[in-house]
Structure 1
Amino acid sequence: MDESGESLLPVWRANLVLLTRKVGAATRLARMMTFSESYLKLILAGQRDFSDEFVRGVEAVTGLPAGWMDTPHEDADIPDDTRASIDNEIPHARFRGTAAPVRKKSVLRAPEPIFGQPAPTKREEPPTDVEAHRRLAGLRKVRELAVQDVKRIERHLTLLPVEHAALRTRIDDVIAAADPDARVRADLMGRLEQIEKHRELLLRHVEKLHALLARVGEQE
């Protein structure tokens, strides 16, 4: 983040808080920006910095005038179109950027040789990328949410055999009562077999998805 961005950060955050003051507004804005609600709440709470790119995205998505976020505002200053956009969760544009600020790289000059002596050999320092650790922590949080959803699907699929057995009994009752011809009878039973076959296939895919998610973002 450049110096101007750092100086505007408190103003940006205050305006974000203003825009999301209504109950549920933070959740709606997060979805409009295609961000997780938890990440946006960390930004609002001052626990995460964010970039000028993100701020311009908020203006575009909510229909705010360009540069609106750069000056302090009160509730009455929020345009009606922006209120309606957030209240009804109707974005004016699609945001495809990132919220993470781009840190300015420090520029250091190598020491000058003393009394004609050769300059010391530059020693490589191990990288200490704090932002990388933050991104990894954010990744792990959203990954855990995805894993929970996958587990929920897996539980539903494992319960299916019980419901499938009850459905087979019902269809047997229909066959006994209607006594359909052999073609219809075979079609009914074939559909049941296909349901069970695809359930097993889906369950294998879910288990594989779970295993892949657990490794996403982790170093080998």
Structure 2
Amino acid sequence: MEYSDETLLPVWRANLLVLTQEVGAATRLARMMTFSESYLKLMLTGQRDFSEEFVRGVEAVTGLPAGWMDALHDIHDVPDNARAAIDNEAPQARFRGTAHPVRKKVVLRPPEPIFGQTAPKKYDDETKDAEAHRKQAYLRKVRDLAAQEVRRFERHLTHPPVDIGALRTKVEDVMGVVDLDENVHADLAGRLEQIEKHRHMLIRHVEKLHELLAGLGEND
């Protein structure tokens, strides 16, 4: 089933995931949009598509700038007023629309050729173009979702739950008060150094992975 706004759907879904990252945010946003929480979660997991009307409603209800949902964002890009509206479940507008996608207009086939005439090739060419467009749209969909996950992983690497500097300091404090064998001391110091070294190396690999993903399908 195809819809008129299928090319932007992966971007909209990725931004919905950003808006609902906080615990309970999906429930609050669903109530603000007058939808059930279960239906919104089906949208977030890709089990239900949704329309541009719904996306514009999200922008209006949360106070996001018009068109904000059309470009990929991360959690740091969410404006403070929109974050506060979701956190406090305080809709900035009332949504009375629908989330159902709008079907594409039906393209009628040309009339059948009269007996003895060669059938026109234009329809075949249009069919091939439509198929190529569908493949390109699907590539961009899966690429953008993968890139979103890579960015999320990168944020975890650059802002780990444990402060690496504090960890090093605490281990060095232990090393300073214990009479250690020279080999054990060197082993502890070396492992601290390797942890930091490999974290930076992993961050570089993740950045390169995102760069490669972002370029896929753009030159076709």
Alignment-derived partner of residue 13 in structure 2: 13
**How far 1:69 moved relative to its partner?**
0.3
Q: Could you tell me how far apart the structure 1 residues matched to 2:37 and 2:115 are?
A: 56
Per-residue deviation at 1:105?
3.0
Task: Tell me the residue number matched to 2:114.
Answer: 113
DSSP-derived class of the 1:7 partner: coil
| TM-score, length of structure 2 as denominator length | 0.50
- What is the CA–CA distance in structure 2 between the aligned matches of 1:114 and 1:58, rounded to whole Å? 55
Aligned equivalents of 1:29, 1:112: Cα separation in 2: 54
Give 1:115 deviation, angstroms: 4.3
Partners of 2:80 and 2:69 lie apart in 1 by 16
Q: How does 1:61-210 map to 2 (within 5 A)?
A: 61-109=61-109, 110-115=111-116
Which residue of 1 is the match for residue 27 of structure 2? 27
Residue 31 of structure 2 corresponds to residue 56 of structure 1: no
RMSD: 1.3
After superposing on structure 2, the runs of 4+ consecutive aligned residues of structure 1 that deviate more than 6 Å are none
CA shift, 1:7, in A, is 1.2
Q: Shift in Å at residue 107 of structure 1?
A: 1.3
The one-letter amino acid paired with 1:64 is L
- CA distance in 2 between partners of 1:34 and 1:8 (Å): 23
Residue 113 of structure 1, CA deviation: 2.8
Unaligned residue ranges in structure 1 (runs of 5+): 117-220
Query: % of aligned pairs identical?
Result: 73
Measure the CA separation in 2 of the matches of 1:58 and 1:114.
55
| 1:54 partner letter | F
- Give, in angstroms, the shift of residue 108 of structure 1: 2.0
SS in 1 for 2:8: helix
Secondary structure of 1:40's counterpart equals helix
Unaligned runs of 5+ in 2: 118-220
Measure the CA separation in 2 of the matches of 1:8 and 1:38.
23
Alignment-derived partner of residue 39 in structure 1: 39
Inter-partner Cα distance in structure 2 for 1:43 and 1:85: 21
SS of aligned partner of 2:18: helix
Looking at both structures, which has the greater relative contact order when contacts are Cα pairs under 8 Å and sequence separation is at least 6? 2
Residue identity in the other structure for 1:25: A
How far did residue 114 of structure 1 move?
1.9
Cα-to-partner distance string for 1:151-189 (whole Å, 9 max, x where unaligned): xxxxxxxxxxxxxxxxxxxxxxxxxxxxxxxxxxxxxxx
Query: How far apart are the structure 2 equivalents of 1:35 and 1:6?
Result: 21
